[in-house]
Structure formats: structure tokens, C-alpha cells
Structure 1
């Protein structure tokens, strides 16, 4: 059995929950982090010394496999996809897998950072304390990254090519956050088509219906 530590409102926990559901894994989730607290305890920091979510424990109640602890959301998605979805979420063909890995890394280094100030200002900051300059700068940065996504998805149905992979989970969660922000955004027809398809996936429906908080 798989145990997922982290509140579902966290975009990084959402990646892991969606992945587990795509793979039909028997799992439980424990609310920690944010208002739930619990990440500064000795027990939690023994699993993740950073005191951050998500964290997984895999192999619980499995006599054939020792308990395995892992943190960092994209590393978790890669691990679960490789162990339980080889050839499915986790591409076996080298170039396809490298493409999926590239987009997962890009989500971390470019896409999510481009919108982070807009998110923090519009969602986490009281209205009378918001910095309009930071919001606009972040909006413009996210326009550039979403244009990249739209261009790629004009050429192929999914992030890594012709089929749904782990890269779509990771980038899809980030895109859900972008579309959930109360902000002006240009039309991105190919990105919007892709998001609509992701929302129709049974494993994604709870995660991609959540409000951005």
C-alpha cells in the first residue's frame, strides 16, 4: 500500500494523488502541511528533513518489499510511474521518456516559477496589500510560458507526443493553477483543448476540480 503525506490543496500533492489514481494504486492520504501543520515533528522530519510535502511511503503491508520513503513531487511521480506504469505513464522508449522528463523539469524551472508571484499576490495576499507591479510582471512571464505550451500542443496531443504520460500529470496540475487565477489571460486554444481532455480523465476529476488556494 502507498501512503501519501500532504494536504490536497497543495499543487505538488495533487500531482502525486492524480498519478496514484491513474495507476489504480491502493493508497491513503494524510493531511499535513499548511493549516494542518505536522511537518515540523521529529517523525515527519525523519522522512523529509526539509519539512515539506509531499512525502510518500511505499511498500506498506507488503511482505515482499521494504518500506520506501521518497520526497519531491516530480521524483515521486517518476518513481510511481516507473514502478507501476512502465510503458504507460512511464515511457520505455528512450526519446519519448527524455521528452517527458524534459517537460517535467521545465514545469519546475520555468512554468510554475513564471506564475508564482501572481499566485501568491492574488490568492495568498490580502487585496489591500497586493503589489500590482509584481502581479503584472508574473502575468507577462506566464504569458510566455503558456505560449510555449500552446505551440507544443498545436503539434501533438500530449506533452511528450501522441499519448498521455507522467509529463501531462505534472504540467496539467501547474496549468490548472494558472487557469484558476483571477487574472486576464490570452486565448490559448491548444492548451485549452488539452486541459479539457485532462479534466475528462476519471483519475484527474477530483484534483482538476479543486479551487486554487
Structure 2
């Protein structure tokens, strides 16, 4: 049995939970406790425990789960198709996530360290610009981020777009993103874990 450590309010924990649902992998989930600190030197979630094997970093965990399930349903075996999925996964982790950090902390978390109006405005504009990249990509594919089929790229990016759509700020009209989110809502894993971890 897989054990996933971390609260489902974490966007990165939800990546792993949703991936398990897509792959049909049973799991148990535990909140982070002080005794878990030895499992991840960064003291961050999620952490996956699979017997005597421990893994951290959410995208690495999602890739591992696909390999463990022996399935290419979410992560293709073909080198080019796989690279396209992983390209968007890495873009989500390095570019898209960095774009929303300041406005999310200000507008959702009400962090006292994130109250500069200029930085909120600049951060919101940058976040919208990055979602505009997805709007163009979805217009090109007509379906999902990496192409015609649902993949791990949609798990990680779907969660980020859910966060974008729930943040109280001005957003451009992105019809392809809206249609994409409507497609994701049809998936049981999205309904169970995407809306801030609240089924």
C-alpha cells in the first residue's frame, strides 16, 4: 500500500492524489508530522512511502507512479511524446508556479509579507500572461496540454489553472482554458482532489 504524506490543501500533494486516482492505485494519506522530517531533508510535502522506498518532489512522484503501475496512460513510452508531456510538467514547476507566488500569497493567503500593490499587479499580470501561453497551446491542440489525450501534464497544469481561476483577481477571457477546465471537471480525480483538496 502506498502512503502519501501531506495535507490535500497542498497543490503538490493533490498532484499525487489525482495521479493515483487516474492510475487506479490504492493509497492511504497522512498529515505531515514532526517524525516525518527524516523522510525529506527539505521538510516539505508530498512524500511518498512505498514499502522501503521513499520519494519526494511531486513531479518525480507522479512519474514514479506511472512506472510503478506499468502504464503509459498518463506518460507515453514514445520518446517524443513523453518529452512533450515532461516539457509542460517542468514548465508548470519552474515558470507557471513562479508567476503566481506573489499574487497568490497576497490575495488568497493574505500574507503580511505580500502587500505591495505594485508587486501584486505585476505578479497578476505575469500570471495571466503565462495562462495566455496555455490558451494558445490549447487552441492548437483542441483538447489537452500535450495533445489529443489526457496526460500527467494535465494533472499538474489543471491544478495550477484551478488555482488561477479561484484567485480573486482580474483575468482575461480565455475561452480555450475555460473549455479545458470544463473537460477536466468530468474526471473523477479532478472532482475529488482539484478544488483545493475539498471533495
TM-score normalised by length of structure 2? 0.93
Instruction: Provide the residue aligned with 2:169 in structure 1.
Output: 183
**Unmatched tracts of structure 2, length 5 or more:** none
Match of 2:43 in 1: 51
Where do residues 39-118 of structure 1 align in structure 2 (5 Å cutoff)?
41=34, 43-58=35-50, 60=51, 67-84=52-69, 86-118=71-103
Deviates more, 1:200-209 or 1:106-115: 200-209
User: Hey, what's the Cα distance between the residues in 1 that align with 2:173 and 2:87?
Assistant: 25
| Superposed displacement of residue 150, structure 1 | 0.3
Contact 1:180 1:211 in 2 (8 A): no
Count, aligned residues = 197
SS of residue matched to 2:73 = coil
Shift, 1:144, TM fit? 1.2
TM-score by length of 1: 0.87
Q: Distance in 1 between matches of 2:110 and 2:197?
A: 16
User: Match of 1:209, SS?
Assistant: coil
Runs (4+) off by over 6 Å:
none
Provide, for residues 138-166 of structure 1, a one-character-per-residue CA deviation record: whole Å limited to 9, x for no partner. Answer: 11101210110000000111111110011
The secondary structure found in structure 2 opposite 1:185 is coil
Counterpart for residue 23 of structure 2: 23
- The offset of 1:88, in angstroms, is 0.5
DSSP-derived class of the 1:205 partner: helix
Is 1:134 the counterpart of 2:134 in the alignment? no
Listed one character per residue, the Cα deviations across residues 20-59 of structure 1 (whole Å, up to 9, x for unaligned) are: 1111111011122xxxxx2xx3x3122101110000011x
Contact residue 150 and residue 190 of structure 1 kept, 8 A: yes
Q: Comparing 112-121 with 82-91, which one deviates more in the overlay?
A: 82-91
CA contact (8 A) 1:119 1:181 kept: yes
The structure whose RCO (Cα within 8 Å, separation 6+) is larger is 2
User: How far is 1:85 from its partner?
Assistant: 5.0
